[in-house]
Amino acid sequence: MSAGVYHIPVLLNECVESLCIRHGYDYADCTLGGGGHSEKIAELLNEGQKLHCFDRDIEALVAARARLARFGEKIIYHHKPFSDLGKELAPEALGGVLYDLGISSHQIDTNRGFSFAGNEALDMRMDSGSGESAQDYLERISEKELAKILKENSDLEMSGRLARLILSGVAAAKGEDRKITAADLNSAIEEVYASRKKDWNSLKARVFQAIRMEVNSEISEIKKSIEAAVHCLKSSGRLCIITYHSKEARTVKEVLSLFEKNCLCNNNLPVCVCGGNNRKIKKVNKKPVTPCVEELKNNSRSRSASLRVYERI
């Protein structure tokens, strides 16, 4: 990534095509970031149509506002977590909603502790004005809890031993009255996976990801928000979601599978008592859309992206 580029949007054309933008409807980009997807969407909107852009990171809003200034009042900015979607927008208010989950290149590359390659204090909050930093989080949780999140969020083996070593590094830093840094986590990871040197970078990335997900309550944010998004969509409206790892993808599929069913009765009931008419969405593609060879070549950070598209019935 060249210096000065906030974030290269992933699956850009695929997302915008999948949204099937229609005249007369408003849209939402729940993960504004550097505004790459929003810019392309805004270009397709007519006078009077609005694009609601959410980000909990003030730096994203500042950068995107500058990039998107020419669209004026067409864009409405929400410095909010996207779980507030249902509070900010009315039911059936939107023709389409986009999520490009995770963090931006800017967040990875700046000094906020998101990257295992950095040497700054571990903050990891997307909204650095609220909530608990990674440092506070690691000082508070138990070894058992940490082992669980390392396993569940990033599927890490030997999570118990890893949690023990990470927390002993955290305690040592506290004893020395200094902040924990990436180096503290990295040395625990290198010790636990000493025999897997060639995998260190990917293991480190997964450990950082697992902790970041907890610091930002990422899974509960996704659950709350996409449920709200289904209700915010008008009939035929599109819901487009890019995920970057298996826990995100599983969460999206699980939440949306409930809205794909007509009958919500318990399996052990002999007959349907719910009315059998609950289906709210259908899948547009059987398989998720992934980046083409060209995109993978130009943007290595797109390599784990998968786009799922649903349509409101």
Ligand X SMILES: C[S@@+](CC[C@H](N)C(=O)[O-])C[C@H]1O[C@@H](n2cnc3c(N)ncnc32)[C@H](O)[C@@H]1O
Q: Does 114 bind ligand X (CB under 6 A)?
A: no
When binding is defined by CB under 6 A, the residue of 18, 26, 35, 150 that contacts ligand X is 35
CA–CA dist 218, 95 (Å, integer): 25
Residue (106 or 204) nearer to ligand X, CB: 106
Which range touches ligand X (CB under 6 A), out of 35-43, 163-171, 227-235, 281-289? 35-43
When binding is defined by CB under 6 A, the residue of 18, 53, 68, 102 that contacts ligand X is 102
When binding is defined by CB under 6 A, the residue of 104, 115, 154, 251 that contacts ligand X is 104
Q: Does 226 bind ligand X (CB under 6 A)?
A: no
Q: Pairing between strand 75-78 and 94-100?
A: unpaired
Residue (7 or 312) nearer to ligand X, CB: 7
**Cβ at position 294, least distance to ligand X in Å:** 18
When binding is defined by CB under 6 A, the residue of 57, 123, 214, 248 that contacts ligand X is 57
**Cβ at position 36, least distance to ligand X in Å:** 3
Binding flags for ligand X, 37-56, as an x/- string (CB under 6 A): x----------------xxx
Binding residues for ligand X (CB under 6 A): 7, 9, 31, 33-37, 54-57, 60, 81-82, 100, 102-104, 126, 221
